[in-house]
Structures are given as structure tokens and as C-alpha cells.
Amino acid sequence: MSWLTKLPERWLQFRLSWRFSGTFGGRNPVIPKHDMTSFYATFRPEFERAGLLLGGIAWELIATQAAVESNFGNSALAYKDNNYFGLTAGSWLGIDGKPKPGKSCVNYPTKEQNPDGTFRTENRWFRKFPSMAACIDNYVYVLGLGIYAKALERARAGDATAFFQEL
């Protein structure tokens, strides 16, 4: 896991500390299904597949984002709804703000950061997937959109920090 050891440790600690200290990650008591080792071992083939589909970026970058967003697969959004990247509903919502027909979404309270560095809790719609593979497919699609071109360019150049900053 050479990429993981090169990632700024403080960045990961910060993301994990605020992301999972409040309502989104700790809303319901969770019996952890994965620790770091089992998370990577279980899902590595999917992360590798995503890396190839995204033009050969390191699977460790994708795994790190999933680990941070899902607390190593232990958040309710991950283990109940197979959303390991915190993918919000976005275009899956209709003009009424509710999921479009045929789109499966769930609503969770989540922490969001204010410009002044404080946090607020708000309810958000997130995409729900039938499997990790379906989540990976959608993640690849979303990252393939033009708005993430710079992030992918940075990842292909081997700059993990810039990849995460661009996301």
C-alpha cells in the first residue's frame, strides 16, 4: 500500500475525525464489519477495476477515498446502502427534491463544513446501490464527467494530495 503511506496522515485523520464524529457516521450504533485490513482485502478487486476504468489511476487512491467516506465500510450508508463514496443523489432527484422514478435514494443527516470552519448538520439525499460493483460503476461515471478532469489528471501523474484536493 505504498500510496497510502505517502498520503498526508493529518489529512486522513482530519477527514475521519470530522466525518464520523457526528450524525452521519455515528447516527446508529454500528457493529464494525471491516477494519482497515479486511476493508482493503475485501474490496481491492473493485478498486483495481475502477482504477483501470479511470485510465490507470492507482487503486489505492480510490480505496482511500472510499475508506474515508465510509469509515472503512462501517457507515450506515456503506453497509446498508452500498454507497462507499458518499455519492449524493444530485441528478437522481426530480424538481420536487424527491428521487426520480427508478432511482433509489436514501436520506441521511450529514455534517457539512461552513466557510468559517465550523460544521452544521443537514439532511441530504444519497444514492443507494444494489452492490459495491454498482457503486463503483457510478463512481467511475461521476469521476468521468468533465468537472473532475483535473483530479484525474493529477491522479495519473501520481500526485495523491492534488487528486484529493481537486475532488
> What predicted TM-score, i.e. pTM, was given to this entire model?
0.78
Q: Cell numbers 469509515 label which residue?
A: 71
Domain span at 155: 2-84+131-166
Task: Tell me the per-residue pLDDT of 53-88, one tens digit each, with 9 for 90 and over.
Answer: 999 999 999 999 999 999 999 999 999 999 999 999
Which is nearest to 72 in space by CA: 138, 130, 131, 16?
16
Write the burial class of residue 114 (CB in 10 Å: 0-12 exposed, 13-18 middle, 19+ buried): exposed
Q: Among the residues of the chain, which ranges form H helices?
A: 2-6, 9-19, 23-26, 36-53, 59-70, 76-81, 132-143, 149-156, 160-166
Task: Count up the domains in the chain and report the number.
Answer: 1
Q: Are 141 and 149 in contact (CB under 8 A)?
A: no
SS3 (DSSP) at 10:
helix
Give the tens place of pLDDT for each residue, 79-121: 999 999 999 999 999 999 999 999 999 999 988 889 999 999 9
* Cα distances (Å, whole numbers) of residue 167 to 61, 62, 98, 123, 153: 12, 12, 25, 21, 12
Q: Is 73 part of a structural domain of the chain?
A: yes
In this structure, is residue 100 part of a structural domain? no
Inside any domain, residue 94: no
